[in-house]
A and B are shown apart, each in its own frame.
Chain A
Amino acid sequence: MKTSINLVSKKRKPSAFRKRFFVVSIGFFSAIFVISVSLILYRLILQNQLAELESDEAKLISVVNQNPEKKVKYLTVRERLIEINNIMKRRKNINARISSVQSSLAEEVSITLIEGDETSVKLRVASENLLFVNNLLEQKINEYAAANNKIIKRIEMTSFNLNPTSLQYEVNFIIEFI
């Protein structure tokens, strides 16, 4: 007959590592589950928002196309204005140069010939008074060149003569632009 009783269970007690592993597993699974459900819900919300926006887009397109004639007219005006703007920005300002030369040099002498293109302006001025011609050559041209030195490359007097018919002194010169 046994005289002692073993009160310690034969079943081994789970170790601390196992307990921790169990808790971590539960925690990991729960976190994954919550994140999955949240992501699915978030995706559904976004899909719903996208569907609403797409439906709004269709409505807006129909509103914009409600008056196609007005739309086409406006777009035509806009397109034409863009083209005209481009043309005006790049067009050569020959006339502006000529006007500038005229207003600067032709106070005391008369201009009898102006020829201008993209790069130069040729000018013939005439006067009966030699003092005026002298003033033009000594002062006016220099003043004009100084005021426009950023755009002028060269000014050359190509001829100076007395016209036997009109009895006027004539000076031809060419202004070359940069």
Chain B
Amino acid sequence: MPLALLLAGLIMLWIIILPQIGEVNELRDDLDLQRSKNDELEGSQRVLDSLNETALDADYQLVMRALPQNKSISLIYESLVNTSFDSNVTIGSLNLEVGNVYSSDESEAPRERNVEGVPFLNMLVRVNGGSAKDAANFADVLYETIPVVEIEEILATDTDGRYDVDFYFKPIDPETFKAQTRIDPLGSDLEKLLVTLRSWDE
């Protein structure tokens, strides 16, 4: 009888306790994961609830102009003209990079230049008038307008200025966001950037 009990105890240890310990540990991990998923979803819900639709619409329009979806020539021209008004010069000429626009042959298809995955349109901008200081000031003003640009080279003289400018754009596919459920708040850096962009847009 005692031997049978001991044997039964050992069998129970082997077929019940040991597998149960494994399953319980797995379940506890699953629970932790599920809790963090739910916390994340609750966070997402809080972020969405805190949004004001009118302000969101305005911010959406703003960022889509700051980093357009495509090479928006009209937006670029508008930005350059406004910049020239603010810096006391006039736009002389705009030169776009010359090359293929379309080719059915993939090897000849135009390749977009990009910096870390963000494509850009390179343009040579010439301005007239003012002084070398005004012409240099044009670059300062251009750096604080939208769309967001990067100036590669500046040449400013008493009579004119020449700027090698990259205008950034990035196509977007809203489908990629449809299934996303993790919605993080903007955070202080992006909030500050949004305030800066709003001030540039005034």
- Which residues on A are within 8 Å of B, measured CB to CB? 18, 21-22, 24-26, 28-29, 31-33, 35-36, 39-40, 42-43, 46-47, 49-50, 53-54, 56-57, 60-61, 63-65, 67-68, 70-88, 90-92, 94-95, 98-99, 102, 106, 110-118
B59 shortest CB reach to chain A, Å: 5
**Residues of A contacting B109 with CB < 8 Å?**
none
> By the criterion CB–CB under 8 Å, are A68 and B178 in contact?
yes
8 sampled A-B residue pairs with Cβ under 8 A: A24-B6, A60-B44, A76-B172, A77-B63, A92-B152, A95-B136, A111-B136, A114-B157
Q: Can you list the 9 inter-chain pairs with the closest CB atoms, starting with the nearest?
A: A25-B2, A60-B41, A95-B139, A80-B63, A39-B20, A75-B177, A25-B5, A32-B9, A46-B27
**Residues of B contacting A113 with CB < 8 Å?**
132, 155-158
Bound state CA distance, A178 and B37, in angstroms?
47
> By the criterion CB–CB under 8 Å, are B27 and A32 in contact?
no
Q: Most B CB atoms within 10 A — which of A49, A81, A98, A102?
A: A81
> By the criterion CB–CB under 8 Å, are A114 and B6 in contact?
no
Which size bracket describes the interface of B in this complex? 35 or more
> By the criterion CB–CB under 8 Å, are B67 and A80 in contact?
yes
Encode contact with A along B103-133: 1 for CB under 8 Å, 0 otherwise.
Answer: 0000000000001101000000000000111
**Residues of A contacting B63 with CB < 8 Å?**
76-77, 80-81, 84
A168 shortest CB reach to chain B, Å: 11
**Residues of A contacting B155 with CB < 8 Å?**
113-115
> By the criterion CB–CB under 8 Å, are A46 and B31 in contact?
yes
Instruction: Check A70/B48 contact, CB under 8 A, given A28-B9, A43-B24.
Output: yes
B21 at the interface (CB under 8 A from A): yes
**Residues of B contacting A28 with CB < 8 Å?**
5-6, 9
